[in-house]
Structure 1
Amino acid sequence: MNVNFAERAHNHNWKLDPIVRSLLDTDFYKLLMLQFIWKNYPETPVTSEVHNRTVKVRLAERVGAAPLVEQLEHVRGLRFRRSELVWLAGNTFYGTRSIFQPAFLEWLEHDFRLSDYTVSEEDGQLVLRFSGLWTEVTMWEVYALAIVSELKTRAALAELSELELDVLYARAKTRLWDKIELLRTCGVQLSISDFGTRRRHSFLWQEYCVQAMRLSLNRGSGPDRFAGTSNTALAYKHDLEAIGTNAHELPMALAALASAGSDDELRASQYRVLELWGQSYGGALLIMLPDTFGSTQFLNGAPEWTADWTGQRMDSKDPHLAGDEYIAWLESRGRDPRQKRLIASDGLDVEDIIELHRYFEGRIRFSAGWGTLLTNDFRGCHPRGEDTLEPLSLVCKLTSAGGRPAVKLSDNLHKATGPAEEIARYRRVFGSAATEGAEVVV
């Protein structure tokens, strides 16, 4: 863990210092989703787009198109290594060995490719779009977000002297340690994972944070409080649990494909995703993500068998309200919430994690996915007092599937995406009101 961040940052002067060095440097859920897409929708065309919700930061000026293209082209030239595929084939994930089918791994080795893309500039922002088969587009999400985020980091670091860089990282390490010390005050039932790949400060800093969490929280007897990391490359390298299930991309795509049909077909698409997912995965991977088109309507209309799933991840709703709603729903279906998993992951910081852990303790098996504010919290650390290292709210969302617009309503009005007329139709079909949620920070 003895990494000289200041020296490494100061010496970014070779022709290309790749940000993504392995195709495993992605969130684990992307590989699970890729296998799902490969199995069920191998010929479906889609488009997706990177969007910077922190509009005050003009990325075209901070980062520039040329360095971005250089990094993207490097990723397009990567291939899964044989040792990585052997690990995917033989490792146990979520208590299940051989979760990835041999035919899928063979396809990864010989036929997997990333789609074409376009990079342009508009109103000071970079416009990055991906188009192609869904199997070619889906993996771009995490690679692209991590690249844009770290390019912004490198641009800010390039303005600092080696001494200033040393001060910066000393402050960031102190901040990280203070957060970990707070987590250590929680009981042994705390369960927390790293979800910070997409908007990280850098790969090296994410690796440092993951190692610090494991060394500090998993000491002594009892269960590990640091459960693992969503970053598959770090799980592979450091023998950690790879954490992740699925994301909004799946119900958005299936709804878009169903949107040409009746309103009933569109409404039913959110449960069709779960049916297909359950045919591929089971056990701890049966985690619902109900907020794509509104959590309340999802639970109200959910088939009885969904109550037998392992748990739910909350994303865009106040986690206290979302958790209470899920617990009440389980009880109404005759299920014991204490046997279920509840995952929070939206913009959490250490105080939120501790408070939510105590709020749900004894009521449901709560766990936290700690993202941007674990792996990219340099607020107040800049030696000149500038804000150039503060994290961005970067997202990469599906914009179409099968030639139809893709829509996300969310429980938070600020997170809705898609054409206005399609959003209006979806709100009518799903019965989801536009709720003014919290401002999106990360």
Structure 2
Amino acid sequence: MNKDALVVGLALFAMFFGAGNLIFPPFLGMESGWEWPLGLACFVFVDVVISCIGIVAINQAGGSILSIEGVLGKRPALVLNTAAILCTGVLIASPRTAATTYEMSVAPLLGDWIGLLPFSLLFFAVVLLLALRPTRIVDIVGKVLTPVLVAGIAIMVIAGIVSPLGPVTAPESATVVADGISAGYQTMDILAVVGFAIIVQESVRAAGYADGKSQLAVTARASLVACVLLALVYGGLTYLGATAATVVPHDVNQATLITLITEQLMGRVGLVVLGIVVGFACLTTAVGLCGATAAYLERISGRRLSYRAALISVVVIALAICNLGLTAIIDLAAPILSVICPPFMITVVLMLFRRRIRSTWTFKGAALAAVAASLVLTVHDVTGLFSFVEAAPLFAYGFSWLPPALAGALAGALLGRKFDPRRITAAA
């Protein structure tokens, strides 16, 4: 492991480990009880392993934002990328950063003195101001706060191991595997891999690696570093949640749980520090997400929609959704992400084998089948209409969309052999 791979790996870890991700592992641990290692393994596989594989696959494909377009085609890639950017920048992640800040930084310290609506108005006013007039404040705060946040979590985890909050008891959930997979979807890291992969490749090139083979080697090692660090942090947080099951109310939401654990282990001072760090970290994340979304909308509209108009629209929508509350946002996100994440996952994994895949039809078939299967499964989860899906392979594990996706890939490969025999090039 050389120094450059370590540095890039630490940067990738910081990109993946957003303050919003902090709230899911402890809640998973509380629900999983003594099965928390199983829930953690499913969470890490979906969130960390698949995302890091995506970083390597996109680097192997050239590291460009056109990588997805190169294997899916222009229009399907536009649909998939737009769905991802709307989830991260408008519908889920941006509102969740504000709601998480309120639940972790405002309510525990100030109580009901400030309601969610006035706080969110102030929060998104600052987001709008900073995104309209970018300054180095966001960059500096982001770089400083991630190490502070990780150090605080490390201290808290060590304290929880030395002196556990309580005994680890039987699982509260009968679907630990599916819970871990769902929590992995909620982080939305898989939807960010294209943007992160571009940043990683630029960093690797800046370190002096000019040829594709050396870039890929450094990227793979860096991804491994990020993967190990993320697994360790998430493992510690999941364990804390498992030990907290007997000492916290079971009707708390994800953000309240982590604040209760922090106060139990580190006292009021620890709670204040966590609240300040998470608040600023969420603010910088929201600025980045809203700004990136506005820039994307300006680009795909051919500049008919200006950056300013797009940003104002994004902020207003995020503000409205934020006031549904954190629990409602997470509940709203679950079915949306259950449909959008699978096609991303199957696409980036197949991209690892792009030199052996003959045509884009294989990718299109896999992605389309993943969307169709996930849509049926999600409708069943919400309404119970399609009970036949419960007999599907891997249903109990939350991966019953995978066999249809693989069948779609096979059908696409056969059709591609007949109608589109061109081999995908490395530059696609």
TM-score of the aligned structures, taking structure 1 as reference length? 0.23
Name whichever structure is richer in strand by fraction: 1
TM-score of the aligned structures, taking structure 2 as reference length? 0.24
Of structures 1 and 2, the one scoring higher in RCO (CA 8 A, sep 6+) is 2
